[in-house]
Amino acid sequence: MAPRGRSGGQRGGSRPTGQRTGPRGNQRGAQRGNQHRDGQRKPAAEKSLGGEQVEGRQAIREMLIAQRRKVREIWIASDIDAADVIDDIRDLAADSRVQVLDVARKKIELTARSEAPQGVIAFAAPLPEADFDDLLKPRGKVNPFLVALDGVTDPGNLGALLRCCDGAGVTGVILPKHRSVHVTPTAAKAAAGAIEHLDIAVVPGLPNAMERMKKAKVWTIGLDDSANRSLFEIGDLARDPVCVILGAEGKGVSRLVRERCDLVVSIPMQGQLSSLNVSVAGALATYEILRNRLAE
């Protein structure tokens, strides 16, 4: 199935931070005033992709395996139970000459910005940002398979979405610079290491990015529970360069974004509820694209 035209117009479509005691103790005073819930800093001039503090065993293990960025230091609780994944972290850190410190669990709990750091915290360079224009190009014989998030603000949902994107073979993720969560410790932990393997670009605004996608012949597909067409009608379009656009929790895709979508589809709901959590909806949408691509 191909859309009838490229015009939009269809209707459809942690707790508080507390005191921070990271490896740069003399910076705590300056940083404390710039933080809010989930440890995100309030943007001063620029907002980076994030990812400097990583919590959770699998997330840290994948970061060491990927070797995409410099890891400065890893803290492990001195009373942590023996586990294969902890042994892997120590071995991988030694191979990369990353300092590992055994510290009191209380110190980890005070520093953590996610609910359950699992006794390990790593401090690293920020995640590298992908070039947006590069995401619009095929990777060999693989057409772009992108996911763009429109105002998603919950870090747990972002992390779950990124994990789904990695599993479904998404070639790039697009996040707006403003009014959208980036990679906080909670998001990184929920992603279980997916942030280390995905190309993620930050754009000034999603509507402008969509115009650039259209010029690059990338179809934009908005997911909105009020759309008349079903996600399962995408068919052959999934094999073309596509970008699935997911809206904010509760609000859905914004009007400006929905109007610019080439196609707006919904997930059929057979029960009493009218919508799904954005991370669950994203999982269904990305795997429906993958299913059609594998059918080829």
What are the structural domain ranges in the chain?
A: 45-124, 132-295
DSSP β-bridge partners for residue 242? 145, 219
Q: Across all residues in the chain, what is the average pLDDT?
A: 86
Task: Write the pLDDT tens digit of every residue in 255-278.
Answer: 999 999 999 999 998 888 878 889
DSSP 83-124: -HHHHHHHHHHHHTT-EEEEE-HHHHHHH--SS--TTEEEEE
| 59-91 residue pLDDT tens | 999 999 999 999 999 999 999 999 999 999 999
Contacts 24+ apart (CB under 8 A), 280-283: 281/223, 281/246, 282/147, 282/160, 282/161, 282/164, 282/165, 282/223, 282/244, 282/246, 283/160, 283/161, 283/164, 283/168
CB hemisphere CA count around 179 (13 angstroms): 10
Residue 75 near residue 101, CB atoms below 8 Å: yes
- Predicted confidence at residue 163, as pLDDT, reads 97
Q: Which CATH class is domain 45-124?
A: alpha beta
Q: Pick the more confident residue, 275 or 107.
A: 107
pTM for this predicted structure: 0.82
* DSSP three-state, residue 81: coil
What is the reported pLDDT for 226?
84
- pLDDT tens column, 87-101: 999 999 999 999 999
For 132-295, CATH number? Answer: 3.40.1280.10
Mean pLDDT of 281-285: 95
- Alpha carbon of residue 269 to chain centroid: 25
Give the separation between CA 285 and CA 164, rounded to whole angstroms: 10
Answer yes or no: are the C-beta atoms of 78 and 137 closer than 8 Å. no
What's the CA gap between 51 and 184, in Å, rounded? 6
| pLDDT at site 48 | 75
Say whether 132-295 and 45-124 share the same fold: no
